[in-house]
Amino acid sequence: MSSLPGIERTASRLPPVWRQVRWRILALLFLVTVINFVDRQTLSVVSPLLRERLHLSNTDYGRIVSAFMFGMMVGEFPVGWSMDRFGVRGGFSFTVVWWSIAEALHAFARSALQFSTVRFWMGTGECGNFSGGMKVVSEWFPARERALAVGVFNAGSMIGSLIAPPAIVFITLKFGWRWAFLGPSSLGFVWLILWRYAYYPLEKHPGVSPAEREYIQSGMRKVGPPPPNRELLRHHQTWGLIGCRFLVGPVVQFYWFWMPAYLHQSRGFTLAAIGMFAWIPYLFGDLGSIGGGWAAGYLMRRGLSLRASRLTVMFSGAACCALSISVVHAATAAAAIMFICLVLLGHTALSANMFAAISDVFPDGAVGRVTGLTGIAGGISGLLFPLLTGFLVDRISYTPVFVIAGLMPIAGVFVLTRLVGGFRRLDI
């Protein structure tokens, strides 16, 4: 990797930020992530209404959520492989169309089985958002900007989750729940037009200035052919990232899919009240996502090593996640929402650096597949955790679920610390 002074000299010759192509591409990644999570959140926002009409128990709803996570798990590696093999321009185009069609088909589902089927379909496409996004970041951003870039596009998950409650509740109350699925599904096709117009690989992009191309490439090493899959699985760094995402991923998924139900069942919120207040924690999630990426970059600029910077932010985020235990013990609904805000703040700061660590450690030709492998692990735990949640809520309460969710992130960071080691780029 080039020396820091060399990078600084190249940076001094860059055009103004608004003319640098990598930030425009990052804006498209942010936008597609917003759309992804509006689509993903729609079911959870309307779930109080649908569960009453379809007479679904918490266990039934847990199975529907698990079907989505099973689809994510099944799709992760094939989609990650296709991003590495064929590139993200076509890969993103296909996955966005695929999941947008599935989102629209929710409007025609009439039973738990039908909802589970379209959720599975949707999951096989939506998993491509992060493997494709990580691939783009690894190709378009030098190492010291990657955590910030991941934080920015990952912030789209919280913006989408922030927009979804008021927007989906408004559409549902005004036009009916079917339009709550049909309306958002059209956004993916609009994004597709922008993507096909604006995105080309770095080496072929006509709008990139020589100075920006040199700046991006100055922080990267040339790599050989993509390593075979079995080679990736031989490295303990792969298993460290897999283990971390297995433990960290289900926590934010629990809040995405179960928070409206928790506020309705345990805190007495109506559908209108969910639309008014459920967006607030996701605003803090955005702050954590962008702030976590910025903080790691700031610590590196202040002289901390890459490893120390990543782990400082990740352990701080895990400490915030532990406040999940306080949610169910809060005396008021306002206090419960405050604790949820802090949990999502910490979780997204942790996640931004967890995803950035993939491109820190692995060569560009492996980033999509390693992200896919971690996604399979997240899919397995994301499949099991909703089933456990539904079982515990129906038979005990939400309390043990929030306790488990509070402890899993710190365990995940310990696993990553033990197995990833010095965060050095592997020479595969």
Query: Domain coordinates of the chain in residue numbers?
Result: 7-214+227-420
Angle (nearest 5°) at CA 73 between 72 and 78:
90
User: Taking residues 130-159, what's their average pLDDT?
Assistant: 79
Q: Which two tokens stand for residue 194?
A: 């922008």
Confidence of residue 17 (pLDDT cuts 50, 70, 90): low
Q: Which two tokens stand for residue 36?
A: 């992804």
Task: Dihedral sign for Cα 191, 197, 199, 201, please.
Answer: positive
CB 143 within 8 A of CB 3: no
Report how far residue 386's alpha carbon sits from residue 62's, in angstroms, rounded to the nearest whole number. Answer: 5
CB 163 within 8 A of CB 38: yes
Residue 300 pLDDT more than 80?
yes
Confidence of residue 9 (pLDDT cuts 50, 70, 90): low
Residue 207 pLDDT more than 80?
no
Please report, for residues 96, 100, 324, the alpha-carbon distance to residue 124 in angstroms, rounded to integers and kept in the order given: 11, 11, 29
Percent of the chain with pLDDT over 70: 93
Tell me which CATH homologous superfamily contains domain 7-214+227-420.
Answer: MFS general substrate transporter like domains (1.20.1250.20)
CB 337 within 8 A of CB 281: yes
Confidence of residue 121 (pLDDT cuts 50, 70, 90): very high
Residue 63 pLDDT more than 60?
yes
Confidence of residue 341 (pLDDT cuts 50, 70, 90): very high
Q: How many CB atoms lie within 10 A of CB 299?
A: 18
Report how far residue 29's alpha carbon sits from residue 293's, in angstroms, rounded to the nearest whole number. Answer: 16
* pTM of model > 0.95: no
Residue 274 pLDDT more than 80?
yes
User: Taking residues 286-292, what's their average pLDDT?
Assistant: 84
**What are the φ/ψ torsions at residue 315 (nearest 5 degrees)?**
-70, -35
Please report, for residues 49, 70, 117, the alpha-carbon distance to residue 46 in angstroms, rounded to integers and kept in the order given: 6, 21, 18
Beta-carbon contacts of residue 157 (< 8 Å; ≥ 6 apart): 33, 34, 36, 37, 285, 289, 348
Q: How many CB atoms lie within 10 A of CB 4?
A: 12
Percent of the chain with pLDDT over 90: 24
Report how far residue 37's alpha carbon sits from residue 67's, in angstroms, rounded to the nearest whole number. Answer: 17
User: Taking residues 410-418, what's their average pLDDT?
Assistant: 92
User: Taking residues 315-320, what's their average pLDDT?
Assistant: 94
Residue that the structure tokens 């999502």 belong to: 344
Amino acid type, 378: G
What mean pLDDT value characterizes the chain? 84
